[in-house]
Amino acid sequence: MAVAAAFSPWRIRERLMMGLTLWLLAVAAPVMAQQRPVDDPVFTVTNVPVDVSAPNPLQAREKALVEGEKKAFEILVRRLVAADDVAKFPTPSDADLETMVKGFEFAEERTAPGRYIALLSVVFRADRIAGMIRGAAVPFVALSAPPVLTIPLLRTSTGVVALGDKTPWRDAWGTVVKAGGLVPMRVLRGDAEDTKAIDPEQAFVGDTAALGRVAERYGVQRVLVSIATGETDGPFAVSGTLYEIGLGEKVAMPAQNGVAPDKLTEAAVRHRTKLEEDWKSVAALSHDIADAVIAIVPIKDLAEWVKVRRRISAAASVRKVQVQALEEGRAVVLVNFVGTRAQLDKALQQQGLSLVDGGGAGLSIVTR
């Protein structure tokens, strides 16, 4: 059959050889490699574990690519759409899936007789994936969330462990951050500069001044303090708080009790999932619905206007901000957006703004 021929073992080998060729070119020509465009992190799935068996190493690697890309596709769909919509996207055929993949890379490869183990990262073609989801008329996320700095704290009967110490909770977060996702995340290094900015007790109690210092150092506006309470052999009670530094707000993470030491990574994943689901509620948009509103933005001076305009433009559903008038004490803007008016308001709230209906006075975008 034509489809089978399109994705024959020879075709897979051709793709594997192409990946090797590109790698060799990158090594031989570092200047060219530096000019390579950055892949969209939203449509990139990293570190998918593969463990397959086959008669020989080459066949095992070919099988790992096919199975790994299917796993990556399933992860990507769960990332982009609401849980209730996942079932609308069954795994495509091998031939169709190949057309959706822009590139791939194996890492941490291990081989044994008849067995191949590795981590597979897959870059999907954003236009193909977006087109598939739009065809099902399902809202989806096309933008990464603002980055988050994570401070993993282990609290025992003797107090909160030093920030830079190796702990099972810190290791769990290292694994989760490595996996990638909708919310770009980093783990506090706990080096000398970090410990000057914040100490474990300040992080534990949520000292906003100290959190603000480390947020500035890492160039973020969101800090997650994730806490595992218990002795090193477990079990642990897991809790956490996300601090929105710029907005002066905080969001509690789901509490988890009785977490065994070998389940700490799953507990960290649940915190990350909470962040991603919160972002989906704002950024999962019906891209076929487009609208525009004219709104008044009260301002004190030009400096404030520049800041507010940046925040409006950064809202997940906003596509364009056009200034209609700039007058003393206010600006009048035309805001083009996708999704519904309610989604626009929610996206603005994420930026510390509100869309207010003044009745006969029209709409206003004000600082919360």
What's the one-letter identity of residue 28?
A: A
Does 368 score more than 50 pLDDT?
yes
Q: Which of 1-15, 169-183, 208-222, 289-303 has the highest mean pLDDT?
A: 208-222
Does 177 score more than 50 pLDDT?
yes
Average pLDDT over residues 167-189: 91
Which of 312, 190, 183 has its CA nearest to residue 253?
183
pLDDT at 367: 87
Sorting pLDDT into bands at 50, 70 and 90, what band is 39? low
Calculated CA dihedral for residues 68, 18, 132, 282, nearest 10 degrees: 70
Does 224 score more than 90 pLDDT?
yes
- CATH 3.30.70 placement within the chain: 290-367
- CATH 3.40.50.10070 placement within the chain: 148-283
Does pTM surpass 0.75?
Answer: no
Mean of all residue pLDDT scores within the chain: 84
Average pLDDT over residues 270-292: 82
Element (H, E) at 209: helix 208-218
Structure tokens at 21: 């060729």
pLDDT at 138: 84
Average pLDDT over residues 178-201: 92
Average pLDDT over residues 98-125: 91
Which of 253, 102, 268, 242 has its CA nearest to residue 178?
268
3-state secondary structure of 141: coil
pLDDT at 202: 96
pLDDT at 206: 95
User: Greater confidence, 8 or 87?
Assistant: 87
Could you tell me the fold of the domain covering 148-283? Rossmann fold (3.40.50)
Categorise residue 331: left if φ over 0, alpha if ψ from -120 to 50, beta otherwise. beta
Does 178 score more than 70 pLDDT?
yes
CA-CA distances (angstroms) from residue 368 to 29, 248, 267, 297, 351?
Answer: 51, 11, 33, 12, 9
User: Is the separation of the CB atoms in 173 and 245 below 8 Å?
Assistant: no
pLDDT at 17: 45
Does 193 score more than 90 pLDDT?
yes
pLDDT at 36: 33
Least confident among 76-80, 131-135, 283-287: 283-287
For the chain, give the percent of residues with pLDDT over 90.
46
pLDDT at 287: 65
DSSP label of 248: T
| Multiple choice CATH, 290-367, 3.40.1710, 3.30.70, 3.40.50, 1.10.10 | 3.30.70
Average pLDDT over residues 289-314: 87
pLDDT at 286: 66
